[in-house]
Amino acid sequence: MSFGKLMEMYQFFWMFESHAQQRLSWQDAEEMRIARVRAEAQASAQLQAMLQANPSGSLGSSRLNDEDILIRSGLL
């Protein structure tokens, strides 16, 4: 066999391998598109839940166990 014939065979088999890799990358891209849509839907649902819980949109500057606030409210 000549070197040229060996190169043709190598390129022929490499073509199948490269096509297989391309199909895998298309499959990965499709999975990533699906994951992005799911993440966007989840973020949208979380935003709606936050807006329903606090419609003004401002959460303020509250702190847990703030003694001054607890004393002013009569809890301490």
pLDDT in tens, the chain (76 residues): 798 899 999 999 899 999 999 999 999 999 999 999 999 999 999 888 877 776 665 555 556 667 777 787 777 7
Residue 64 three-state SS: coil
Q: For residue 17, is it within any domain? A: yes
Number of domains in the chain: 1
DSSP letter at 57? S
What domain range includes position 7?
3-55
Q: For residue 69, is it within any domain? A: no
Q: For residue 61, is it within any domain? A: no
Q: For residue 18, is it within any domain? A: yes
User: Widest CA span of the chain, in angstroms?
Assistant: 96
- Whole-model pTM above 0.85? no
Q: What are phi and psi of 44, to 5 degrees?
A: -65, -45
Q: What are phi and psi of 59, to 5 degrees?
A: -90, -10
Q: For residue 74, is it within any domain? A: no
How many residues are listed for the chain in this entry? 76
